[in-house]
Structure 1
Amino acid sequence: MPDLSTTTRPAPSIGVALLAAVFGGWLMSLAYPDPGWWPLLLPGLGFVLWALRGRSIGGGLLVGAVSGFAYYGALIEWLTVYLGIVPWLALTLAQVFFTALGGALIALAWRWIPRAWPGTAGRLVLTPLVVGGAWMVRESVSSVFPFGGFAWGRLAHSQAEGPLAPIVAWTGFSALSFFIAALVALGVAGIVERRLPRAHRASMPVGFAVLLLVWPAFPVTIIGTTTIAAVQGNSNSGLFADYERGEILQDHYDATRPLFGRDDIDMLVWPENASDIDPLRNEYAATVMDVVSEQVNAPLLVGTITADGEQTFNSQLLWRSGVGAVDQYDKIRPVPFAEYLPAREFFYPLAPDLFDLVPRDFAFGTRDTIFDVDGVIAGIAICFDIVADDLFLQMIDEGAEVIISPTNNADFGVTDQSVQQLAIARLRAVEAGRALVNASTVGASAIIAPDGSTIVDLPRFEPGTMVADVPLSDTITPAHALGRTLEWLVIVFTLSTMLGAGVLARPRRGDNAV
């Protein structure tokens, strides 16, 4: 077996590797809003991938865990605002479990691939591609498992304001994460290479970066426009908010009044939980819906909590004055440990004080994801639906021409959560080739064009309205046409190559080093 020490620079010591992992993970977190310094993702990820070179399985687990804690701990700090440190720590450690496993897989890729294929192509092309694939495999698993996973903080999410955002219409989120990870791994492989001249080592990452940067945006066909108004009530609607019954409803009614008397609005959007009284069960709330719909001369899309027998749903209603609710979307994917407690009999006794924060379990919706609003097909995605790839595939399959994303961000105060969510929504608009209306109780609220640009937005924590002529589209982007095909191809490529390398590579002295 060739001696790789003559072709690549030595791996860092475990102490240096751990420092690089912490710094890299923290640097990566800064690429996401806020501050949203997207270029920092590349050096941050580079430090993490470099720290995993030369590690054993145990060392990969350790470095992966440390980088994951620095990364997710900083990224989801917003969870501490009302819920405290315990839920933040629990969710961070859950993600650390996956980043540790991903670190071990990446460490094995750095070891095995160049031993199995020791030539220049193996070291500088195949190895970085497998390392990038290993990162994407970790993201793909943690995004769906367990209990639907936690798809927050994927590499792709950092690029909402960056030059790589248009690629998501071609590839979807997972494959864009793969391209980013592979690009950074190509850079790391070039830096540690010893034999080739610097220009040759730089050619692969630079060439790949240029290819990604010049890749054209997918053309979106506009089939018409519709005038949409959206309301931000700036209501005190958090989980622990102290408010009078009907106060949240009143806030959104008051914020909507400047729109009364207009006759140019085709649909009016209120956020998730905009009515704290269910108009399906309360005459007063139903009367308010009627008045609002009548005064703006348009159907109202309103978020509220509904019930069907013993089941409770997080719902969005399509309401018409004098008729009532003519359609309803029930959130298909309630958030585990927030909107329901999985395996309550098991988890509740472990931390009863904590899980008293989840007193009821929302049921899983089974309705379709669209409303027909006078011939305009609007797809509905409530709050954290925004991260669920399969729901957006379903929505476009059902004919959505515009996406409505009502949300309630009040639980997270003046933190980065709402702007991180808006960044994901911006990428969804690009991926789907659809305009998107992100209407929040407190912000960040914006109407986004199919190319990801902002049509109109509102400052956070101020009541207000947005009105815009919103483009409609029936374009099927390659990301939608392919679905999860690219993701599965990368998974199969990565794992099969790793398996082949594991068979071909032979253990050498030092393989048990940390």
Structure 2
Amino acid sequence: MVVQQPAAAAACGPVDEPVLPLWAAILAAAVAGGAMLVAFPPYGQWWAAPAAVALLAVAVHGRRLRAGFWLGCLTGVLFFTPLLAWTNLHTGMVPWLLLSVLETLYFGLVGLAGAWIGPLLGGRQRWNRGGWSWPVAVGLLWVAQEALRDRTPFGGFPWGRLAFSQDTSPLLRLAAAGGAPLVTFAVALAGGLAGFAVLRGIGAGTEVRRAVAPLAAVAAGCALIGVAALVPLTEPAGPAVYVAVVQGNVPRLGLDFNAQRRAVLDNHVKATIALGDRVKAGARRPDLVVWPENASDIDPLRNTDAGVLIGQAADAVGAPILVGAVLYSPETGVENAGLVFNPGRQLGDPVSKYVKRHPVPFAETMPLRSVARLVSSEVDRVTDMTAGTSPGVLRVGPATVGDVICFEVAYDGLVRDTVTGGGQLIAVQTNNATFNEAEARQQLAMVRLRAVEHGRDALMASTVGISAFADATGATSAETAFDKPAVIVAELHLGDRRTLATRLGAIPEYTLVAFAVLGLVAALAVRRRDGGRDPDPHPVPEAADGPEEDL
């Protein structure tokens, strides 16, 4: 028989006994963390992301909430710690581990919620009657977790979103319909269906009738990927522009790249002048040139030498340059900006500029500085930067460029604003001199998703790499090597049509989160209704060796 619990107790514990023994659940959660890691660049095995979701969902199913939380944390720590290892290169272990632990806690919440929604699948005696809301709820919970993590604390840190693992997946095309949240939902739904198939398969035994459900779940997962591959894309159909990206490189990687700022500026000036020499020799002249973030950490609006050098580069190539620069002013403080330098500009002439709207906490601004100082001696090397207030929409030669700087590419609204503001192509100016190639490739995956999401050709311009172009299908071209100077050129098309995702904005995310909340409420209703009991009218006969307890 089944030992019955009071309804209140059932609401806090499992309605059904765990499917996996504890050792197997721990193993599944651990493997889920590793699988999640290899889904992301530089490994790029996109199929591993839904597999990871499935493993964690099976591991926490039927367990108490605290067990679900800790299993989720196990997956999270084995995922985030290596994924974010590039943050440890020049700042020490403590900030890296603190960030990894913070992000891990959000996975703990997913594990807890996964344990909570177990009753939606039903007890073992009810597995032959529905339960299809469970894999949908799994998908919704991942969207809700990312929505929370993308915004909290201090503006959030969206690194490691499921959507950013899908840059080579058929599911990437869903970004054109609902942005990154819809891609995340599809990945997690596919994982939920796989988990559903495993759980129903365990319950089916040798009974053919019960084998239909797991087979149907597998078919549904395959159909999901197939349908995603058919989603139409909005490719830019406007006039072509010839774009050059200059990757000038830095003398040394590391936090002291700022101490090398004149050398970094000189590298970009020399590379652009060399491009101008090739133009004079008969090469095609670019319509615009893009330099990366921190290409000029000497304020070219206040330092005459820097302004003259950039002007010489623009004159040599005969095209406007979008320059990544750091500006210093008593009125506005320190700003991370994109500036437009046109050929023939005179000193003192005004320039169009975009100021980074989301300075990175603990890197470009220092919350809780006095507390953070106890953690790392590098804290006081961080100068609080002033956040901009307007989207990065800049006219650069014949193109209106949607400009975002570095980590801003990870935030949905910051990229969308540039497109709705009139951006015809997307430029991501970034500086990877304090990181490594893995971080650069993770960032490039985000650029690919944004190109598909908004139907715009895009580019990533980095000081040290990886620089590349991405089209509205998500394909990249002219990828540079890491830590090597390079100049790349490509013909891009300007876009003027808006994708469904661009038009809808955050509506798909808000809708999915609302349904996630409804799923949690529905699980509560089932728990209260069942009160820890399995109401199946045909219970399994009592085992010969004694009663079975509902743990």
Letter in 2 for 1:451: T
> How far 1:42 moved relative to its partner?
2.7
Taking the aligned partners of 1:75 and 1:94, their CA distance within structure 2 comes to 13
Q: Is the 8 A contact 2:117 2:519 kept in 1?
A: no
Q: Is the 8 A contact 1:112 1:502 kept in 2?
A: no
Taking the aligned partners of 1:202 and 1:113, their CA distance within structure 2 comes to 16
Q: In the superposition, relative to structure 1, how do residues 56 and 200 fare at CA in structure 2: closer, same or farther (>3 Å)?
A: closer
Pick aligned residue for 2:58 from 50, 55, 80: 50
Q: In the superposition, relative to structure 1, how do residues 43 and 444 fare at CA in structure 2: closer, same or farther (>3 Å)?
A: same
Taking the aligned partners of 2:108 and 2:310, their CA distance within structure 1 comes to 50
Q: In the superposition, relative to structure 1, how do residues 242 and 434 fare at CA in structure 2: closer, same or farther (>3 Å)?
A: closer
Q: TM-score, normalised by structure 2?
A: 0.87
Taking the aligned partners of 2:96 and 2:549, their CA distance within structure 1 comes to 36
Matched with 2:491 is 469
Q: Is the 8 A contact 1:72 1:95 kept in 2?
A: yes
Matched with 1:319 is 341
Matched with 1:139 is 146
Q: In the superposition, relative to structure 1, how do residues 175 and 118 fare at CA in structure 2: closer, same or farther (>3 Å)?
A: farther
Taking the aligned partners of 1:499 and 1:485, their CA distance within structure 2 comes to 21
Unaligned residue ranges in structure 1 (runs of 5+) = none
What's the % identity of the aligned pairs? 32
Taking the aligned partners of 2:384 and 2:64, their CA distance within structure 1 comes to 43
Q: In the superposition, relative to structure 1, how do residues 90 and 171 fare at CA in structure 2: closer, same or farther (>3 Å)?
A: same
Matched with 1:309 is 330
Q: Which has the higher contact order (CA 8 A, sep 6+)?
A: 2
Q: In the superposition, relative to structure 1, how do residues 49 and 176 fare at CA in structure 2: closer, same or farther (>3 Å)?
A: same
Q: Is the 8 A contact 1:273 1:304 kept in 2?
A: yes
Pick aligned residue for 2:176 from 169, 174, 193: 169
> How far 1:368 moved relative to its partner?
3.1
Taking the aligned partners of 2:197 and 2:526, their CA distance within structure 1 comes to 24
Q: Is the 8 A contact 2:121 2:127 kept in 1?
A: no
Taking the aligned partners of 1:10 and 1:57, their CA distance within structure 2 comes to 12
1:427 aligned onto 2:435: no
Higher mean C-alpha deviation, range 497-506 or range 47-56: 497-506
1:230 aligned onto 2:261: no
Q: 1:206-355 counterparts in 2 under 5 A?
A: 206-215=219-228, 216=230, 217-236=232-251, 238-241=254-257, 243-261=259-277, 262=279, 264-309=285-330, 311-323=333-345, 324-345=349-370, 347-351=371-375, 353-355=377-379
> How far 1:112 moved relative to its partner?
4.9
> How far 1:389 moved relative to its partner?
0.5
Q: Is the 8 A contact 1:447 1:457 kept in 2?
A: yes
> How far 1:351 moved relative to its partner?
2.8
Taking the aligned partners of 2:183 and 2:30, their CA distance within structure 1 comes to 24
Matched with 1:22 is 30
Taking the aligned partners of 1:219 and 1:397, their CA distance within structure 2 comes to 15
Taking the aligned partners of 2:103 and 2:93, their CA distance within structure 1 comes to 15
Q: 1:454-493 counterparts in 2 under 5 A?
A: 454-493=476-515
Taking the aligned partners of 2:353 and 2:18, their CA distance within structure 1 comes to 60
The structure whose Rg is larger is: 2
Unaligned residue ranges in structure 2 (runs of 5+) = 4-14, 534-547
Pick aligned residue for 2:387 from 361, 364, 381: 364
Taking the aligned partners of 1:405 and 1:49, their CA distance within structure 2 comes to 36
CA offsets 1:424-468 (integer angstroms, 9 cap, x no match): 111111111101110101111101111111232222221110111
Letter in 2 for 1:299: P
Taking the aligned partners of 1:244 and 1:355, their CA distance within structure 2 comes to 20
- Tell me the secondary structure at the aligned position of residue 222 of structure 1: coil
Q: 1:81-230 counterparts in 2 under 5 A?
A: 81-112=89-120, 114=122, 122-123=130-131, 125-193=132-200, 194-195=203-204, 196-215=209-228, 216=230, 217-230=232-245
Taking the aligned partners of 2:459 and 2:187, their CA distance within structure 1 comes to 28
Letter in 1 for 2:428: S
- Tell me the secondary structure at the aligned position of residue 326 of structure 1: coil
Matched with 2:538 is none
- Tell me the secondary structure at the aligned position of residue 256 of structure 2: coil
Q: Alignment RMSD, CA only?
A: 2.5
Q: In the superposition, relative to structure 1, how do residues 325 and 14 fare at CA in structure 2: closer, same or farther (>3 Å)?
A: farther
Letter in 1 for 2:365: Y
Q: TM-score, normalised by structure 1?
A: 0.93
Pick aligned residue for 1:70 from 78, 84, 96: 78
